[in-house]
Structure 1
Amino acid sequence: MLNKQVMVEAFQAQVYLSYASWAEVNSFAGIANFLYGHMHEREHMFKILKYINDRGGGKAKIEAIDKAPENPKDIGDCLQKILKHEIDNSKKIDQIVNLAHEEKDWATFSFGQWFVQKQIEEESLVNGIIDKYNLASTEVDGNTSLYEMDRDLTNASQEAETPREEEF
């Protein structure tokens, strides 16, 4: 499962790269910047790869990365597709953590918790951007605010704030 997740993370990075390029070509520099910033999925891929190799007995397998899906129709479609990819990735991470728990592989269970938290943050972040998009794309006096949304995303945080245990 961990080897499959290496490639899932690589594919996620491909999707972000592809959609960022699409946004950039369509003059959405802020959205492109945000999406390029989320290609850190490659770092997640590498983290899992190193865990497999360093754990002993395992050997990471690198396979071909699937091509990114077709370009989105518009920004709303892009954001919805990104959210779906994040939710799908969360389900895969949950399967790894569940299997580790069932097999009493506490090292992998503990390792997986970092990814569980990251996915919570990713989904929260994308949901927040979709909320902003919905507000920005609602017509007010015949005008939309996509320009301001794009400008705001140029310097937007790449992380979402979520409650942490130490805050309770």
Structure 2
Amino acid sequence: MLKPTILKLLNEQIALEDYSANLYLAMSSWCGHQKLSGSARFLEAHSDDEHSHMRKLFTYVNETGAMARIGALDEPPYEFGSINDVFEKTFEHEKFITAKINALVDACLEEKDYSTFNFLQWYVAEQHEEEHLFRSILDMIEIIGLDGRGLFLVDKEIGKMSNKV
């Protein structure tokens, strides 16, 4: 059975992963509205990926004999200034999620919950990949730029990444 501290943190992480899925879906909608179909497709796929992260946590909690809870979710933002703004906010959000996962891992060590610690190693590695992915998108935007055909090229390249999510 999970200790109350760990269960509380896992349920909070479930809600955060669910929020992430909604955030990326809202960003996908904004991109679609801006005629950025590659970015919309990428962010929709990323939303599905975040939802699967939530389900993985949900299943783990239930398999321990505890009860996973779905908390109330805040409405994600749905207005953005540019495609760069979308991916800046995405990168910042992923760094926030990394900090939350790291705090959860720390709590597992403090509570000597090595089973949950082991389970969370996948998330630690996943967050490294997520931060790298979004940093590379921001780097691409900086290198290519968004003037003239740059926006078209950036969107096209981001769309190609939807197969890698």
Say which structure is richer in helix: 2
Secondary structure at the aligned position of 1:69 is classed as coil
Seen in structure 2, the aligned counterparts of structure 1 residues 158 and 109 have a Cα distance that, compared at 3 Å, is farther
Q: 1-side partners of 2:56 and 2:32: how far apart? A: 29
Coordinate RMSD, CA, aligned: 1.5
Q: Is the 8 A contact 2:28 2:41 kept in 1?
A: yes
Of 76, 84, 109 in structure 2, the residue corresponding to residue 76 of structure 1 is 84
Runs of 4+ in 1 over 6 A off after TM superposition: none
How many residue pairs end up in the alignment? 156
Q: 2-side partners of 1:29 and 1:70: how far apart? A: 16
Structure 2 residue identity aligned to 1:152? E
Identity of aligned residues (%): 35
Q: Is the 8 A contact 1:76 1:130 kept in 2?
A: yes
Unaligned runs of 5+ in 1: 161-168
Higher mean Cα deviation, 45-54 or 66-75?
66-75
Asked if residue 47 in structure 1 is aligned to residue 56 in structure 2, the reply is: yes
Per-residue displacement from partner, 1:25-51 (whole Å, max 9, x unpaired)? 100001111111101111111110111
Query: Residue 6 of structure 2 aligns with which residue?
Result: none
Structure 1 residue identity aligned to 2:96? D
Unaligned runs of 5+ in 2: 1-8
Q: Is the 8 A contact 1:16 1:35 kept in 2?
A: yes
Q: 1-side partners of 2:140 and 2:54: how far apart? A: 29
TM-score, normalization by structure 2: 0.89
TM-score, normalization by structure 1: 0.88
